[in-house]
Structure 1
């Protein structure tokens, strides 16, 4: 089995801002379980050090462009034993705030240096820095590791490289001044290199220099070849089509299992859904809504931004005024959208509950207690909540985009008859289309035989990482073989 260096900017349980962390914390253990030798490289942010447990310093680093002390600390992913190497450089990573910005959400001004340093550490590790271990393949994730394949090109007998796009909207754009400060080869400042409309892009480097490019769902792999979803990089991606592949994300089925979940009010499974009704009651109480078992509860968890279609939900509410439903929301983001949601809740406190922020326990309770789950994202590379929802018997309502299209089987006559339909899919991404589809979903909710069929089909789906890990291992073997 191959030896893999997994380079990422976040991973659960150490640090998380989005789905990248879920992938980085779940895929390496699945690969290890399948026999691969996986090591994970992650910056030693302050929050990571707080969650890392015992640490051993295993190497010192002397990297180009870095004038402050740096080294490698060793730990492991709890419960799996997957080795984790933390890039320890207090000057760059030991800060209050998030991995990419301060507490107010403002990007750190030295992010170019912070993640170029991560890339250079990956190169050093690929060259046997720790105990002579050398990976056969380096798997990089999103713009933060986009320079890794670029810099590995200068390494004699370099490992194979795979670069995964989790969200093409984040391209890692920096100025010419940043480019010069990083002491990168001048030849990289060109249209054929990292230059991107007067700036330079870490992400573009990963797309150009890696042996293979993957995205987190097959549909998103096709979408990013178009101007609508390509963010100006569709030409670059089009030139790499033969080495572009969509592999669907999995979910942590140990953490997200209604039969064992310690964060919900009562456990349940597909054979006995009584516990789901208990969770619904607890959810209604948590949000101060009338505890009515007959009224369908619709849930939403996510960033409150236009991409997630939060405005579509708000704009659809007037058309749903006559419907018996309750809406519960958990998330944070755009201040205007936050305020609109809070205003809606204040106007209809018996129908709408909103909590700004993120609470892991409440997220689990929403998945367990809601009847329907909304994901009207304008684009969604993969998405995880629609998979969590199906596992918890909560029927998703999604826009036909990216991984949402790949993971939700639409309610159509043939799919219903085969007991395969798992949710409601709408298009285009408009408030009207969402309202029409949600009314249809509420109609089905009032027909117990149909609803039970949807719930049971969703809970029977296999979204485990084991399936995705097999696909990645097959790609790794192919990429390594091509390197000779």
Structure 2
């Protein structure tokens, strides 16, 4: 099969979150199974900063947007058996951030990602005919719409199938309706049964309506988004397409996330011998300038600093956490929480470590050096860090939602079964209780050792997830 995966961010080229990890690993897993796989993303400033130098593949391709003809370049980089195509248009993508500054989204995101969709489709005669278009999140939501309207009857798009994967329902790509005609979308489609959502244009809705099938990144989340609590206003639409809705849990790229071969950590270790973890904990404490204490658990987070991630709950119970543990966090997000955590690091110097940025090397040190990994999300479509943590013998403490609920089983001290700790309600008390349960087991070295063995015995490879995607592609 010829498969084109379309994602606004792809690791290792440009990343803000877990979507990039998925879009980096899945194509490689599919390519290893003998398929011709390509990926398309914008040529952001960050790609250049990360040291990648794609070559010019096709110059001055023309498309029409905003009532005028515009040109762009198509760049190519071959990476681990996958063709990575970049849409070069400096006016739209040569910026410091991918989607917006800490103060808010870029005002022209509707044009930036409509251009992205149009540019990919305008490039197909150069890239080659595809069998599957695998779109990801709202930024690629117009691709199914354009294929089913503008390219209807075009031989390059005969018999193609489109899968739209929702990584996060909350980010829907909503824009004022004034942009509709400038993006080559017919007003006939701007209805409650079309792409209109509360008098705005919804890129996410376009993706859901015009795709042949929809998937989410865990079985749990595929059920949750059918409810008003998690459906973000689109639960009715999703229910109408329930027979076309699938849940496939993300895999882990163990060539990147494996303490036995991890180049970023102080000492390598594996499931047979976890002794290297102690040195990694010392190294992590040093990196965050906190006091190392083998007898106190070190609790960590790597997260977007936003209330979706339950960050406010962590702030509320920080005093409780520090009675029994030390705490480090790596993340970036809402300016309010960026500042709150910087303040906590000053207030609890030597006990709380904070790094407000994205740092890949440091994220590996955290997974290897922490005793527990905290994910108190209000919703979590899949989550990857809890699965990384299991491989690194770092015990997940998570809220029982979405992919977190699918992948983590609550540890039972009596049966000695389970691979982490879960809590149900998004409240200070529930989170605090789960942390206390984890700390109690931590103090019992025999129980803790058994729990760590349970963690490292878990496996979530991309090979398994890729097989499920291939089965879905073939059934479209």
TM > 0.5: yes
Q: CA separation in 2, counterparts of 1:321 and 1:21?
A: 33
Q: Which residue of 1 aligns with 2:462?
A: 465
Are the counterparts in 1 of residues 322 and 351 from structure 2 also a CA contact under 8 Å? Answer: no
- Aligned to 2:252, the other structure's residue is in SS state coil
Q: Which residue of 2 aligns with 1:26?
A: 25
Q: CA separation in 1, counterparts of 2:2 and 2:111?
A: 28
From the superposition, tell whether residues 352 and 91 of structure 1 become closer, same or farther in structure 2 (CA, over 3 Å).
closer
TM-score normalized with structure 1 length: 0.93
Q: Which residue of 2 aligns with 1:35?
A: 34
Q: Which residue of 1 aligns with 2:71?
A: 69
1:266 lines up with 2:267 in the alignment: yes
Are the counterparts in 1 of residues 31 and 81 from structure 2 also a CA contact under 8 Å? Answer: no
Aligned residue pair count: 467
Q: Which of 110, 116, 119 is the equivalent residue of 2:117?
A: 119
For residues 53-110 of structure 1, the C-alpha deviation after alignment (integer angstroms, 9 at most, x for no partner) is 2413236422222523213222122xx12011212222222x23112124x4432222
1:185 lines up with 2:186 in the alignment: yes
Q: CA separation in 2, counterparts of 1:87 and 1:340?
A: 37
Q: Which residue of 2 aligns with 1:482?
A: none
- Aligned to 1:343, the other structure's residue is in SS state helix
Q: CA separation in 2, counterparts of 1:45 and 1:321?
A: 40
Q: Which residue of 2 aligns with 1:341?
A: 341
Q: Which of 139, 147, 159 is the equivalent residue of 1:144?
A: 139
Q: CA separation in 2, counterparts of 1:425 and 1:106?
A: 33
Q: Which residue of 2 aligns with 1:216?
A: 217
Comparing 336-345 with 450-459, which one deviates more in the overlay?
336-345
Q: Which runs of 5+ in 2 are unaligned?
A: none
Cα displacement (A) at 1:270 = 1.3
Higher-strand-fraction structure: 2
- Aligned to 2:363, the other structure's residue is in SS state helix
Matches within 5 A, 1:47-446: 47-50=46-49, 51-58=51-58, 60-65=60-65, 66-77=68-79, 80-93=80-93, 95-102=94-101, 104-126=102-124, 129-130=125-126, 133-154=128-149, 155-156=152-153, 157-320=158-321, 322-323=323-324, 325-412=325-412, 416-417=415-416, 419=417, 421-446=418-443
Q: CA separation in 1, counterparts of 2:16 and 2:428?
A: 28
Cα displacement (A) at 1:200 = 0.8
Cα displacement (A) at 1:408 = 0.9
Are the counterparts in 1 of residues 413 and 447 from structure 2 also a CA contact under 8 Å? Answer: no
Q: CA separation in 1, counterparts of 2:463 and 2:234?
A: 31
- Aligned to 1:153, the other structure's residue is in SS state helix
Cα displacement (A) at 1:442 = 0.5
Are the counterparts in 1 of residues 14 and 47 from structure 2 also a CA contact under 8 Å? Answer: yes
Q: CA separation in 1, counterparts of 2:60 and 2:115?
A: 13
- Aligned to 2:264, the other structure's residue is in SS state coil
Q: CA separation in 2, counterparts of 1:277 and 1:373?
A: 16
Point out 4+ residue stretches in structure 1 off by more than 6 angstroms.
Answer: none
Are the counterparts in 2 of residues 152 and 158 from structure 1 also a CA contact under 8 Å? Answer: no
From the superposition, tell whether residues 303 and 58 of structure 1 become closer, same or farther in structure 2 (CA, over 3 Å).
same
Cα displacement (A) at 1:410 = 1.3
Q: Which runs of 5+ in 1 are unaligned?
A: 480-484
Q: CA separation in 2, counterparts of 1:289 and 1:435?
A: 22
Q: CA separation in 1, counterparts of 2:134 and 2:266?
A: 39
From the superposition, tell whether residues 188 and 422 of structure 1 become closer, same or farther in structure 2 (CA, over 3 Å).
same
Q: Provide the aligned C-alpha RMSD in A.
A: 1.7
TM-score normalized with structure 2 length: 0.94
Cα displacement (A) at 1:14 = 0.9
For residues 392-421 of structure 1, the C-alpha deviation after alignment (integer angstroms, 9 at most, x for no partner) is 00000000011111111211357x44x4x1
Are the counterparts in 1 of residues 62 and 70 from structure 2 also a CA contact under 8 Å? Answer: no
- Aligned to 1:228, the other structure's residue is in SS state coil
Are the counterparts in 2 of residues 44 and 86 from structure 1 also a CA contact under 8 Å? Answer: yes
Cα displacement (A) at 1:342 = 3.1
Cα displacement (A) at 1:321 = 5.2
Cα displacement (A) at 1:459 = 1.2
For residues 156-213 of structure 1, the C-alpha deviation after alignment (integer angstroms, 9 at most, x for no partner) is 2241110000111110011121112113112111111111111110110000110100
